Amino acid sequence: MQALEALYVVEFGDVAASGFRNGGVAVLETSRVFGGDSGYFYLGNYEVDRGVMNAKLKVVKHNPAWANAFGDAANEFEVRLSGAINNGVINGHMERVDRPGIKLPIRLTRKAPLPG
């Protein structure tokens, strides 16, 4: 299996539309996640169990005009992410901790290894 630590492009679904929209980038490194998009940045931790990545991320707004994929303008929230790892792509869903039951699709696509 290819090393999970890398730079990924993040795409996720939106409560207002179907399919994926471009979300931003994320770096997976030593069980940590660092990333962001035009409105929010993401920080958290992940673990892998039998080909599935599970992560808990803190999502913080940095652009006051931006609404998030869950359809509100929250300044900060936590999400849980779960996705199957397959050939450099992690496909799964994310769910806000404070709004259980609303799951949005998410896809992380490996783009570059981390510098050595």
- Domain topology for 6-113: Lipocalin (2.40.128)
Q: Cα separation of 59 and 1, whole Å?
A: 29
pLDDT at 116: 82
pLDDT at 57: 98
Domain coordinates in residue numbering, the chain: 6-113
pLDDT at 2: 64
Segments of the chain with pLDDT less than 70:
1-2, 22
Judge if pTM exceeds 0.85: yes
